[in-house]
Structure 1
Amino acid sequence: MPQTTLAILGAGIFAKEAHLPAIAALGDKVKLGAVYSRSESSASSLAELAAKTLKYDTPIPVYHDADPKANLDVLLARSDIDAVVVVLPITQQPGVIVKAFEAGKHVLSEKPVAKDVASGIELIKTYNASYKGKGIIWRVAENFEAEPGYLVAAKAIRDGKIGKLALFNLSAINALDESSKWYKTPWRTVPEYQGGFLHSAALLRTVIPDALVSLSGHATLTKKYLAPQDTINAVVKTSTGAIGIFELSFAAPYASRAGGLTTFTGTSGWISLAGAKATIDGKEQNVNRVTIRSVKEKGTKDKDGNPEFEEVVEVVDEPSCGVRAEFASFVERLNGKDDGLGDPVGALRDVAFIEAALNSNGTAISLTDLVPQL
């Protein structure tokens, strides 16, 4: 496999704490060839940390807006840069993504695909019309879509381990206070940049085998510093008639209230997903614990001649490594292997889900109508 040379566009906390370890995990498959940020100080900070994390002997070239000789256009003009990873505020991403396409670069862009459905549709249409046919690859980095544990749950449902899906329930309650490092970033404090609700929508899209077609819900603001909204409750329906409850909040009053559990109930069993700690290869790790409970006939009958049943339990612990998995998937795609992860249309469906939940105010909204065939 040839080595891929990447550039990171954006130097925030997620680039430092999630993207660099993901690149390091790929070893010799990739090389970080450049770093860009609007300011020289933030770009230099990321480049220095990257050199240490990746154990490079030479400095990583830095690009920023203050120097016309070392700005984004100059970076994109480099023939040795194969692909860019876009980790910029969402209002800036579409323009930068198209600029990268124009320069012939493959793109892995952070979720959401755009700030709203209309913008996402426009961006996808532009890509399909002008760049996809040229062999330029674009993927959207949604790490929940790539989490191995969620893929295990998805396969179990598709394999019929719980029968036909009938109902589901996602509850994710977070305590995000103003002292959190994740709050002290424009991704959380600038309303136009927020995309934190998207993960849970992606989880449902990944695990449920059928399209989510209808949603009715309410959104509210509990803590002013989390404006515009910090809590969503909705009822969702799939194309096959399964119904579910979607409960998501960042406004828990204290850490003791934080936590989550997601369940999928079928006609002959159910699956639960929850975060846990487990020892794998002698090391304690954060895992997604998948518990699959399948109801099966025992092969015996009761006193009235009716078949007797038992519940067979299977527990699978998968390391939480979605960011690393999405990077690995992207590099594999650049080398001709497509596992389907990161499809921009899938990412657009997540935006449509959250947009509908925020705007519903109790009225049923067709998710199918929000996202046309692209």
Structure 2
Amino acid sequence: MPAASSTGVAILGAGLFAKEAHLPGLETLKGLAPTLKAVYSRSLKSSSELADEAKKRLGVAPDVYHDGDSSANLDVLLARSDINSVIVVLPITQQPSIILKALAAGKHVLSEKPVAPDVASGIKLIAEYNATYKTKGLVWRVAENFEAEPGYIAAGRAIRDGKIGKVTFFSSRVVNYIDQDSKWYKTPWRTVPDYQGGFLLDGGVHSTAALRVMLPSAMTHLSGFASLNKDWLAPHDTINTIIKAADGSHGIFELSFAAPSASRSSVGNGTIITGTDGWLSVSQTKVKDSVTGGDKSVFRVIIKSAKTDAHGKLGPEKEEIIDEAVRGVEVELASFFAAAFEGKDDGLGDPLGALRDVAIIEAALNSEGQPINLEKLVSGS
């Protein structure tokens, strides 16, 4: 495989996340990332805007491709031999076909989460990749930045190192306030979603991925309810569930985009995982950057632990605080390029892991209080 610095990458999709996350991620990686040689979108306008932003951030002027010109459309881009990989940042229902199209053209693929709009199509997509393209040495990873966040990884490592003993129960609560003026809501494909769950799927897989990274065993069963509380967030905007894991632990997973005001979204959010010897919490906060003097976002992990002696007496409680800068997109990009061009696989971005994230959301949307076996759902049985 060639070194990343001698290859070319293209971004397929020119929406907010391509501009506000992937371009800054490539900028931070510098020479560790391939040169951005092309951008594609359905319209010339949006593709050109992304190219302009890339020139400002990266100092390169990528070629512009769009559907309005048959001599500069996606097929022409994918035919280029100097582009070895693509980052797919397109609407959820469009992604599976584009992923396969790029793989068929011999490109390594990093596709934005979720892996697919539903479990069934995700199973089919993964099966086709494994059978047809993985055997050819092509790498496909799913860009789930919460899975790659060093804060969540640190929390999972602390649990696996036994710092809170055996996990007994957990809770994850995320309440968001989305109004109709939000830049995320104004994205046309989000305003009228053609996929299950609306924002619950699009944003919710972040939260399920975080749990997946932190909990020491797979989540196996779910029971819950879904509802719609704001008509313009159809088809659903809120889920409340109970989840059981393979090790016998269980917990609460709550997710809503229907907060009545912004103040409600700032109360009670975060994850708490409790064990036999302590507990830990993970939440996002801001701290002072010692280099710039400004504020920076971090995931803060607070670990409280205390053990009992031979007589059953509880010893003193110890506290450990870990702050990890928010940089999941940068980490997932670096991981993908290392896998594609250096043969280094750290396990991040596994499509099967991303499928499990979709399965939790899908089960929550369909449970109506009945238990759903997540393992059976993911296996297609």
Range into which the TM-score falls when normalised by the shorter chain: over 0.9
Query: SS where residue 91 of structure 1 aligns?
Result: helix
1:294 aligned onto 2:305: yes
RMSD (CA atoms):
1.5
Match in the other structure for 2:347 = 340
1:242 aligned onto 2:246: no
1:322 aligned onto 2:322: no
1:6 aligned onto 2:9: yes
Query: SS where residue 197 of structure 1 aligns?
Result: helix
Q: Distance in 2 between matches of 1:5 and 1:296?
A: 53
1:40 aligned onto 2:51: no
1:253 aligned onto 2:256: no
Over 3 Å counting, the alpha-carbon distance change for 1:230 and 1:373 in structure 2 is closer
2:139 alignment partner AA: I
**Does structure 2 conserve the Cα–Cα contact (< 8 Å) formed by 1:289 and 1:315?**
yes
Q: Among residues 51, 58, 64, which one is paired with 2:55 in the alignment?
A: 51
Structure 1 unaligned residues grouped into runs of 5+: none
1:268 alignment partner AA: D
Q: What is the aligned residue count? A: 367
Q: What is the deviation of 1:190?
A: 2.4
Over 3 Å counting, the alpha-carbon distance change for 1:278 and 1:187 in structure 2 is farther
Q: Distance in 1 between matches of 2:120 and 2:188?
A: 22
- 1:66-81 residue pairs with structure 2 within 5 A? 66-81=68-83
Query: SS where residue 203 of structure 2 aligns?
Result: coil
1:358 aligned onto 2:365: yes
Query: SS where residue 317 of structure 2 aligns?
Result: strand
1:179 aligned onto 2:186: no
Summarize deviations over 1:99-153 as a string: whole Å, max 9, x none: 1111100000000111101100110010001000000000000000000000000
Q: Distance in 2 between matches of 1:329 and 1:354?
A: 26
**Does structure 2 conserve the Cα–Cα contact (< 8 Å) formed by 1:115 and 1:192?**
no
1:10 alignment partner AA: G
Q: Distance in 1 between matches of 2:99 and 2:188?
A: 20
Q: Distance in 1 between matches of 2:73 and 2:270?
A: 45
Query: SS where residue 81 of structure 1 aligns?
Result: coil
Match in the other structure for 1:147 = 149
2:37 alignment partner AA: G
Match in the other structure for 2:375 = 368
1:25 aligned onto 2:31: no
**Does structure 1 conserve the Cα–Cα contact (< 8 Å) formed by 2:306 and 2:314?**
no
**Does structure 1 conserve the Cα–Cα contact (< 8 Å) formed by 2:64 and 2:72?**
yes
Q: Among residues 338, 356, 365, which one is paired with 1:349 in the alignment?
A: 356
2:224 alignment partner AA: G
Query: SS where residue 126 of structure 1 aligns?
Result: helix
Structure 2 unaligned residues grouped into runs of 5+: none
Q: Distance in 2 between matches of 1:241 and 1:336?
A: 36
Q: Distance in 2 between matches of 1:347 and 1:186?
A: 24
1:332 alignment partner AA: A
Q: Among residues 303, 311, 316, which one is paired with 1:310 in the alignment?
A: 316
Mean Cα deviation higher: 25-34 or 131-140? 25-34
Structure number with higher strand proportion: 1
Q: Distance in 1 between matches of 2:307 and 2:136?
A: 51
Match in the other structure for 1:221 = 228
Overall identity of the aligned pairs, in %: 58
**Does structure 2 conserve the Cα–Cα contact (< 8 Å) formed by 1:146 and 1:322?**
yes
Q: What is the deviation of 1:40?
A: 0.8
Q: What is the deviation of 1:266?
A: 0.3
**Does structure 2 conserve the Cα–Cα contact (< 8 Å) formed by 1:296 and 1:312?**
no
Over 3 Å counting, the alpha-carbon distance change for 1:55 and 1:236 in structure 2 is same
1:70 alignment partner AA: A
Q: What is the deviation of 1:279?
A: 2.2
Query: SS where residue 316 of structure 2 aligns?
Result: strand
Summarize deviations over 1:318-347 as a string: whole Å, max 9, x none: 111111111111111121211100000000
Q: What is the deviation of 1:82?
A: 0.9
